[in-house]
Amino acid sequence: MGYIGVWSVTALPDDAIRTLRPHFADDLTEPYPAEMARWRASGGDFPIEEDLNGWNVTSVEAEDFRDLFLCECGDELWDAFRALPEEPGPEHSYQVEASKGDPTAALCYGLGPAATDLLPGRLGDFLLPAAEVTRALPNVEQALAIEGERREQVTARIEAWMTGMVDGGWICDPDELLDTPLGLFRRAAADGLGLLSMSLQS
């Protein structure tokens, strides 16, 4: 059965963040310890695909990593977000989709565990008031504002994940996956706004 993986990042005023808070599951901000420990122990370097008796199959490590992203934000939060009285402008929102894939999985695989740990929340899901956006920005800059050889490595890994684990339908490039959320963080901090980031399947 097909599905669309969606990652949505939106800058919102603090009153909207407070409205959404009851609908944001607190356990989404805490990683699964055992699964995350295995990922960190691997250093993020594991094969996406492996040869099994002449058949090219998804590696066990890649399947385990993908499973970390199955606990995404639910319909309740999405419905509450859609019911907000004011719709954010395009300069304050970002949404990317993948057919039978998860955009945040591609990003986190590209970054690796150490850089992913610099991002707030749990693997792409967070709800931050304006003050927390400002506090989080230096770490987000360290994770996403990358250049040179490091950027080449990260974008190549994002491409590898998209090729091996996403069933077509990808509508962004790896640079966009790094630069657009970073730009939103910077604008939100400058404008005194909070941020909602959520992953879901439709």
Residue 18, C-beta contacts closer than 8 angstroms, at least 6 positions apart: 129
Question: Contacts for 32-37 with beta carbons within 8 Å, 24 or more apart?
Answer: 32/68, 32/71, 35/64, 35/67, 35/68, 36/68, 36/113
The tens digit of pLDDT for each residue in 63-120 reads: 788 878 765 556 788 888 888 987 777 889 999 888 777 889 899 999 999 999 999 9
The tens digit of pLDDT for each residue in 7-32 reads: 999 999 999 999 999 988 755 545 56
Mean pLDDT computed over every residue of the chain: 84
Separation CA 81–CA 45 (nearest Å): 36
What is the pTM for the complete model shown?
Answer: 0.87
Q: How many residues does the chain have?
A: 202
The tens digit of pLDDT for each residue in 129-155 reads: 999 999 999 999 999 999 999 999 999
Q: How confident is the model at residue 1 (pLDDT cuts 50, 70, 90)?
A: low
Higher pLDDT, 46 or 173: 173
Type of residue numbered 160: A
Separation CA 184–CA 93 (nearest Å): 7
Confidence (pLDDT) at 148? 97
Q: How confident is the model at residue 179 (pLDDT cuts 50, 70, 90)?
A: very high
C-alpha torsion sign, points 125, 182, 97, 84: positive
Q: Is residue 55 predicted with pLDDT exceeding 60?
A: no
Confidence (pLDDT) at 29? 47
Q: How confident is the model at residue 170 (pLDDT cuts 50, 70, 90)?
A: low
* Structure-token match 């740990």, residue found: 117
